[in-house]
Structure 1
Amino acid sequence: MPQATATLSAQLAGAFEPHPEVMRLPLAQLAGALPPGPTLRLYAVTDQPGLYVLHAPSLAAQGAMFSRVVALIERRDMPRDHVVTMNAVAANARRFGEDPAGLTAGNNFSAAQIAQFFELAQRQHVSLTEGERALQTLLAQWGLIRQEAGEGGMTWRAASPRDFLITIPGTGKGPAGEAIDTEVRAAILSHELGHWRFFSDPDYAHACRTYWWHQLTFTEREALTEELTSMGYDPSDRIVIDELQAYLLHTPARYMPLADLPGAGGVDIARVKRGLELSVRSVRQNAGQ
């Protein structure tokens, strides 16, 4: 067995142990509780009901668990109605200059979306990878997903429509040599928590959508969509608006990939960010009245 494969299997082994521990803590204590090494750990955030955080042992382990989930839910030019092969995921990743073993720095999915992946795989009789089996086992033991009896047999369902999982990688080298240190991990966590805000706060999400549709021009929306799709994201408004707010409002500047596009068909990212901040701030002010 190649060393990398053996290391990955060892990192995923903890997922198959019975009764895995769930650390329960408030959001303010989460960053300080993250492990320093390649540890698989789940956190339930007590003051944010429905929020769970999975700390994967490494970027490779995270990719092994989530690559095909990412492909199903949010990747550009990937089908939304069936699970593709790992070769298809790899080919899609290479189109955008990404390593398929890592694919994403972090992840965010509702429990319903993850259950959808396992349900589609079951219907298609698709064999799960070791990483996907680890994810399925973990989430079933943690109670985020479960099998229920349906008309056609057992089906995978989310335990609650309000449950939401974000994932971040452990520190160390990624499959393509990229370095994940504590600062990078903190930036990934902040970005993914932005997605939780969009998922869990209807007023905040409404403010982001309103800004997108009513304050940005068609040309600006087109330019921003092109930037995000060039990074491999699906061009749907569902994905683009969510990613835009997570990058502009929740990602430290040095890690924010969106850039100005000069010219008549371009976009001023700083201006877009200021406008989005004002839109969100007005919602907060109205909520306080």
Structure 2
Amino acid sequence: MPNLFPITRWAMLLGLLIACGAHAQGYLQQLPQLNEEEIAARRAPGFDAYRLRGNDRTVVLDFPSVREQGQAFGRIVLFIERHGAPRNRVLSMAEADDWLARNGQRLYTLTYGNNFRTEELARFFNAVRRQGDRLTPDEKFLHDWLLRMQLLRPDGRDVTAGAAAIVITVPQPSTVDGCAPCTVLAEHRAAILSHELAHARFTTDDAYQARVLRFWAREMGDSARERFTDFLRKRGYDADNDELLANEMQAFLMHTPHAALFSAKEVGLTEEELADLRKRFGAGLPGPSM
């Protein structure tokens, strides 16, 4: 994997944080607190980060493009959720290159946005250390930034989950030279953000999570569940992780409002069948919450 992430931007941000002289918890509180519409409209030339207004358990990381996002999170994606990658160890850089080649994937387009619980991020970093492997420069900065924000906390030689429940990522409208699928338009950014914030709600809203799991297991029907499972498997998600499938189902079904990113045809459903699923899912939702 080529290391194309502009490390100088990370270093500048880290230097600013150090210069602040505040306690680590203060760093997190200094992040802008924005709602979904404000984040979607936000334009930043480099890496930025926000707290979600109304839900302090959600932190949003904003990347200049999917290239930078992939450099920081690619191996985490493979380790936590990618079908066919091992769950018990982190792929080395060379192994990740081989996996991408075998599966016809690009690092930058493994995902267009990410959502990881802080305990999942801790598990990744602990696994790399225990394997005796090295973090890439981008992963190392991410590790140190999360520690500084107390999103991760030291626990002996390991790290453990810290101040927030979930970290999500979204790219800026952008292009990447030599990678046409990497193009993100403003409308894509808004839809990606909506999708990832649905995962944040699933993680931080117990009543909503219970509704999602009940609908997936008992209410959507065997045929629709099998079609969604096949759709998600083709997208690369771990089809053996039932909670992951349910979580992705709700985010695509209810919170991905762009035909280029999700459609009834992709799932093997008619528009009428998809509309019926949305209606039945919505009928059992708890009150508004983040």
For normalisation by structure 1, the TM-score amounts to 0.84
Q: Structure 1 residues 46 and 31 mapped into 2: Cα distance closer, same or farther (>3 Å)?
A: closer
Alignment of 1:1-289 (within 5 A): 5=3, 8-14=6-12, 16-19=14-17, 22-27=30-35, 30-31=38-39, 34-37=42-45, 39-94=46-101, 97-149=104-156, 154-160=157-163, 162-174=164-176, 176-177=179-180, 178-235=182-239, 236-260=241-265, 268-280=273-285, 283-284=286-287
Q: Distance in 2 between matches of 1:221 and 1:7?
A: 38
In structure 2, C-alpha distance between the alignment counterparts of 1:250 and 1:122, rounded to whole Å: 36
- Residue 32 and residue 143 in structure 1: after superposition, are their counterparts in 2 closer, same or farther (change >3 A)? same
Aligned identity (percent) is: 28
Structure 1, unmatched stretches of 5+, are none
What SS does structure 2 have at the residue aligned with 1:17? helix
Alpha-carbon RMSD across the aligned residues, in angstroms, is 2.6
Distance, in Å, in 2 between the alignment partners of 1:216 and 1:90 is: 38
Q: Structure 2 CA distance, aligned partners of 1:68 and 1:215?
A: 35
Stretches of structure 2 that go unaligned for 5 or more consecutive residues are 19-26
* C-alpha contact 1:195 1:246 (8 A) present in aligned 2: yes
Aligned equivalents of 2:172, 2:243: Cα separation in 1: 28
Task: Measure how far apart 1:103 and its partner are.
Answer: 1.6
* Equivalent-residue separation in structure 2 for 1:276 and 1:174 (angstroms): 37
Q: How many residues align?
A: 272
Letter in 1 for 2:15: E
Aligned-partner Cα distance in 2 for 1:278–1:95: 42
TM-score (norm 2): 0.84
Query: Are the structure 2 counterparts of residues 32 and 77 from structure 1 closer, same or farther at C-alpha, using a change threshold of 3 Å?
Result: closer
2:273 maps to a residue whose letter is D
Partner SS state of residue 121, structure 1: helix
CA distance in 2, matches of 1:245, 1:10: 38
Structure 1 position 42, deviation (Å): 1.1
Q: Secondary structure in 2 aligned to 1:232?
A: coil
Q: For residues 96 and 223 of structure 1, do their structure 2 counterparts lie closer, same or farther at Cα, with a shift above 3 Å needed? A: farther
Question: Would you say the 8 A contact 2:4–2:71 is kept in 1?
Answer: no
Q: Tell me if the contact between 1:227 and 1:258 (Cα under 8 Å) persists in the aligned partners.
A: no
Moved more, 96-105 or 19-28: 19-28
